[in-house]
Chain A
């Protein structure tokens, strides 16, 4: 019997079997598309601004919790940082995350000085989040701060 399949090497035969399985797997199933398209996610702009003003002591950490009611953009701005009433040159660490235990769990923090430009801009799904401000180890006196949290 002249069957070219008989002349395949053992390795090729195994490969042929695997290809057959793959072809059959691909061929079966519903006629529906492989992936169902999802509706585009709406990202709401910030419409509410919460103002957080307090004093950060040397070596201290503070955090502030806020709620994002819908998927949207959250901008966090360190609007003011003063010591003794004068602008402070020393940056402080700021990060955002979610309240956990007795603190605010953040993936990372970075040093920021006061600016009108948001230090952090993130898109968040609905939920409760927090902003953490902490002495980066450089404060020698307490500083007063104003943080703006703009959210949907």
Chain B
């Protein structure tokens, strides 16, 4: 009988509706609050050519709290491509005016391990690379910036 055969279908729909509605209600089980705003680290690469006695800077956004690790990873003669071990200054700070206001800096030759670590919170920062007088010619560089 069509009417009877459709009734269970409708009943199922009502029961399903009630169950879904009930599922939507009930106690909201609290979840464990997250602490801080730490996020997965991201890496940015700052590359360019540095003239003798010159400087350059690169701005980046920290999207969480943590440590920004700066590595002067590569320095080569721009004309020949030959690796250089000249000591340069790398610093981290905040973009101000037409430059980077450095609050933490170190002098270092290029290497594979981070030479400068700096605590950061969410915000805008900059990395500055400066030749204090050790470059004899224009040099290509690569700086690795790992930040939260």
B7 engages A65 (CB within 8 Å): no
What secondary structure prevails in chain A residues at the interface with B? mixed
User: Is B13 on the interface with A (CB-CB < 8 A)?
Assistant: yes
Contact partner, B58, options A20, A62, A101, Cβ 8 Å: A101
**Bound-complex Cα distance A29 to B48 (A):** 58
B77 at the interface (CB under 8 A from A): no
A98 CA to B61 CA, complexed, in Å: 10
Using CB atoms and an 8 Å cutoff, list the residues of chain B in contact with chain A: 3, 6-7, 9-10, 13-14, 16-18, 20-22, 24-26, 44, 46, 48, 56-61, 94-98, 123-124, 126
Q: Are A100 and B17 in contact (CB under 8 A)?
A: no
Given contacts A25-B21, A127-B123, contact A17 B94 (CB under 8 A): no
Known A-B contacts A25-B24, A28-B25, A101-B58; the reply to A128 vs B13 at CB < 8 A is no
Most chain B Cβ neighbours within 10 Å, of A5, A10, A64, A102 = A102
User: How many residues of chain A have a CB within 8 Å of chain B?
Assistant: 35
Contacts A17-B13, A21-B24 known; 6 new A-B pairs at CB < 8 A:
A13-B9, A16-B14, A17-B17, A65-B97, A98-B124, A102-B48
Total inter-chain residue pairs, C-beta < 8 Å: 94
Within 8 A of B (CB), among A49-102: 50, 52, 54, 62-67, 98-102
Q: Would you call B58 and A29 a contact (CB within 8 A)?
A: no
CA A100 – CA B126 in complex, angstroms? 9
